[in-house]
């Protein structure tokens, strides 16, 4: 074995970590090589010096200090967790309960508000059209099926679609019935093409049509859309009918909102728009005029800078109403007074600021 | 982790039992301080490093899976922190220049600038301390990779397998490093003492 190989093994040789064969070879080499023997001796002395290094003791305070630092960190961590989650087993159920409570409250509030929303929208009352027809139908003529339909209609009204006032207003329309063509055929036809009313011998199909019209979303058009209707392009045709009285059908312009206007007509509801400078004063004057004319069930609403007054007035007094309203501002009517049926008529007066 | 005498205390510590970890600190603090001291050559710094090592161990104890002995895992932490500390010290020395506490190299080896401790007035104590200081200075001058194996094998007495676990290096690498570390130390000691 070469000296350099032997010296590489000397460290392991000292620890007894060489194979027996290596141990024998090194043992044979060392007495013959002074340098390698000296190297081994130096290694032994080095080992003695290193192993002679005294063990040091940690300071007495060492553990205390380490644990104090650990506890301080633990406390800081706990305080963060405390703020966020403590007491975990109580807070999570509370949060869950609160969430459920909010959800339930939201559903109840929504349900409570919903009828009001329905109530506001039908100021353009598609569904009101049901009333005169239903009231006009002599009960003796009703087939069992028709009675059933009527009952369903009554049920719908009970849900708040029709106001009490309107019900009573249409109740007095005894001499005839209004009929409106359903919106579907109207959409398919040219605007200029007149739509003719057809006599309905049976009550049931007519009732169904009206019910469809009532369900159609168009009659629920918002109030703000009405003033933009422009000059009426509708043409009405009243045809005498047997038994049930008159049937009214409207030809409607393409630019307007035909169904809502038609619905207004068929309901016996009269729309009047007054353009004024001072809405508040005009409202008071209008209410006074209505009071003087003996109008009933005067209701007032404010909607987006527009005052809306609805009331019931005897048909004979409508002309007087127009004359008096002219003194307040510029009056535009949406239904000719001649169209108004006899008896009490629903009137809706919109007071709009004049720009 | 079977056969690990620290097993129960480690389990308790993993569940957040601070006192159990305190018992582990008690059990291993001496070895930890000695490893750090022989790695750094400074007692105060060694104590600081070991504190850091215990804090790190406590923070990470939930990640300890028992693949090795807890003590092995703990010593690995203190060795790594010591090595990082040495690197920082070297960078600081390069920036600021040597401090009065840093040993200076002379032709006869490393010397401390501090005056002799008055308590060690007895000749034998003085001589023994002087020898130990010189040996430690020689160890301090070794490369990090030689220093750590030398400390673990010749000072702390760990087996080759344990050193492999602690340093996560192969057995052959440990043996060759120990051989070179001893050879290097022998040369430095001869230089420091004149003749061994």
Ranges of each domain in chain B = 1-97, 101-196
State yes or no: pLDDT of A67 exceeds 60: yes
Q: CA-CA distance, A85 to B68, in Å (whole number)?
A: 35
When mean pLDDT is compared over A117-121, A124-128, A152-156, the highest value belongs to A117-121
What is the end-to-end Cα distance of chain B in Å, rounded? Answer: 43
Between chain A and chain B, how many beta carbons pairs sit less than 8 Å apart? Answer: 94
Q: CA-CA distance, B10 to A255, in Å (whole number)?
A: 84
Contact state of A42 with B190 under an 8 Å Cβ cutoff: yes
Which pLDDT does position A85 carry in this prediction?
62
Which pLDDT does position A218 carry in this prediction?
42
Which pLDDT does position B42 carry in this prediction?
92
Contact state of B38 with A58 under an 8 Å Cβ cutoff: no
Distance from the B126 Cα atom to the nearest Cα atom in chain A, whole angstroms: 14
When mean pLDDT is compared over A136-145, A247-256, B132-141, the highest value belongs to B132-141
Taking Cα atoms as reference points, which of A202, A298, A210, A184 lies closest to residue A244?
Answer: A202
Q: Could you tell me the two tokens for A194?
A: 């007149």
Distance from the A95 Cα atom to the nearest Cα atom in chain B, whole angstroms: 27
Kindly give the interhelix angle for A34-51 and A3-15, rounded to the nearest 10 degrees.
Answer: 30
Handedness of CA A335, A336, A337, A342 (dihedral sign): negative
Q: Say which residue, B119 or A189, is predicted with more confidence.
A: B119
State yes or no: pLDDT of A115 exceeds 80: no
Q: Peptide bond preceding A87: is omega within 30 degrees of 0, i.e. cis?
A: yes
> Pairing between strand B109-111 and B104-106?
antiparallel
Task: Give the pLDDT band of residue B107 (cuts 50, 70, 90).
Answer: very low
A50 near B CB under 8 A: yes
What average pLDDT does the segment A282-302 reach? 86
Q: Which of A11, A42, A54 lies nearest to residue B179, judging by beta carbons?
A: A11
> Is it true that domain B1-97 has CATH number 3.30.540.10?
no
State yes or no: pLDDT of A61 exceeds 90: yes
Q: Which residues 192-231 on chain A approach chain B with CB closer than 8 angstroms?
A: none
Which pLDDT does position A105 carry in this prediction?
95
Contacts of A73 in chain B (CB under 8 A): 55, 58-59
CATH number of B101-196: 1.10.10.10
Q: CA-CA distance, A262 to A250, in Å (whole number)?
A: 7
Contact state of B38 with A52 under an 8 Å Cβ cutoff: no
Q: How far from the centroid of its chain's Cα atoms is residue A348's Cα?
A: 29
State yes or no: pLDDT of A73 exceeds 70: yes
Q: Could you tell me the two tokens for B150?
A: 């030398």
Contacts (Cβ under 8 Å, ≥6 apart) of A176: A132, A136, A241, A244, A245, A246, A247, A341
Give the residue on A whose Cα is nearest the Cα of B55: A70
Contact state of B29 with A66 under an 8 Å Cβ cutoff: yes
Distance from the A23 Cα atom to the nearest Cα atom in chain B, whole angstroms: 17
8 A C-beta contact, residue A282 and residue A326: no
Task: Give the pLDDT band of residue A333 (cuts 50, 70, 90).
Answer: confident
Indicate which of B31, B47, B60 best probes the interface with A, i.e. most A CBs within 10 Å of its own CB: B47
Distance from the B13 Cα atom to the nearest Cα atom in chain A, whole angstroms: 12
Q: Do domains B1-97 and B101-196 have the same CATH topology?
A: no
A3 near B CB under 8 A: no
- Statement: the pTM of the whole predicted model exceeds 0.95: no
State yes or no: pLDDT of A147 exceeds 70: no
Q: Say which residue, B125 or A244, is predicted with more confidence.
A: B125
State yes or no: pLDDT of A226 exceeds 90: no
Which pLDDT does position B13 carry in this prediction?
93
Distance from the B51 Cα atom to the nearest Cα atom in chain A, whole angstroms: 6
A57 near B CB under 8 A: yes
């Amino acid at each position: 074995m070469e000296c350099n190989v032997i010296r590489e093994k000397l460290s392991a040789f000292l620890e007894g970590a060489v194979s027996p064969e290596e141990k024998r070879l090194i043992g044979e080499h060392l007495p013959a090589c002074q340098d390698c023997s000296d190297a081994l001796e130096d290694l032994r002395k080095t080992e003695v010096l290193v192993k002679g290094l005294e063990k040091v003791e940690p300071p007495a305070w060492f553990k205390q200090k380490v644990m104090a630092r650990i506890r301080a960190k633990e406390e800081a961590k706990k305080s963060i967790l405390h703020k966020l989650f403590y007491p975990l087993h109580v807070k999570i159920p509370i949060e869950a309960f609160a969430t459920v409570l909010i959800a339930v409250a939201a559903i109840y509030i929504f349900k409570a508000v919903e009828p009001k929303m329905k109530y506001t929208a039908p100021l353009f009352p598609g569904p009101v059209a049901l009333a005169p027809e239903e009231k006009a139908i002599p009960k003796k003529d009703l087939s069992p099926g028709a009675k059933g339909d009527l009952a369903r209609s009554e049920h719908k009204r009970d849900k708040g679609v029709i106001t009490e006032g309107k019900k009573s207003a249409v109740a007095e329309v005894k001499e005839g019935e209004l009929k409106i063509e359903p919106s579907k055929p109207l959409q398919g036809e040219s605007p200029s093409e007149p739509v003719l009313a057809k006599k309905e011998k049976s009550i049931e199909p007519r009732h169904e049509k009206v019910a469809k019209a009532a369900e159609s979303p168009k009659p629920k058009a918002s109030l703000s859309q009405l003033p933009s209707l422009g000059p009426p392009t509708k043409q009405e045709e009243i045809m005498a009918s047997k038994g049930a009285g008159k049937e009214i059908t409207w030809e409607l312009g393409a630019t307007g909102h035909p169904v809502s206007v038609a619905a207004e007509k068929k309901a016996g509801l009269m729309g009047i728009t007054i353009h004024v400078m001072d809405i508040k004063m005009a409202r008071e004057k209008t209410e006074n005029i209505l009071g003087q004319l003996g109008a009933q069930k005067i209701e007032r609403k404010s909607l987006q800078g527009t005052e809306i007054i609805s009331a019931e007035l005897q048909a004979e007094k409508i002309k007087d109403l127009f004359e008096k309203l002219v003194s307040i501002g510029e009056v535009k009517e949406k239904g000719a007074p001649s169209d108004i049926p006899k008896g009490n008529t629903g009137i809706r007066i919109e007071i709009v600021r004049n720009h | 982790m079977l056969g690990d005498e620290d097993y129960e205390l480690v389990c308790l510590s993993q569940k957040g039992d601070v006192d159990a970890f305190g018992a582990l600190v008690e059990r291993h603090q001496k070895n930890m301080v000695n490893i750090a001291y022989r790695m750094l050559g400074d007692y105060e710094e060694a104590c600081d490093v070991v504190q850091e090592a215990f804090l790190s161990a406590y923070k990470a104890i939930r990640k300890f899976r028992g693949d090795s002995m807890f003590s092995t895992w703990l010593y690995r932490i203190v060795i790594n922190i010591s090595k990082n500390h040495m690197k920082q010290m070297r960078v600081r020395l390069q920036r600021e220049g040597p401090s009065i506490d840093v040993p200076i190299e002379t032709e006869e080896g490393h010397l401390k600038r501090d005056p002799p401790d008055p308590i060690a007035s007895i000749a034998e104590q003085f001589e023994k301390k002087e020898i130990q200081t010189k040996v430690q200075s020689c160890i301090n001058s070794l490369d990090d990779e030689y220093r750590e194996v030398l400390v673990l094998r010749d000072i702390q007495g760990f087996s080759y397998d344990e050193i492999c676990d602690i340093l996560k290096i192969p057995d052959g690498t440990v043996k060759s490093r120990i051989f070179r570390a001893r050879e290097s130390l022998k040369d430095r000691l001869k230089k420091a003492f004149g003749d061994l």
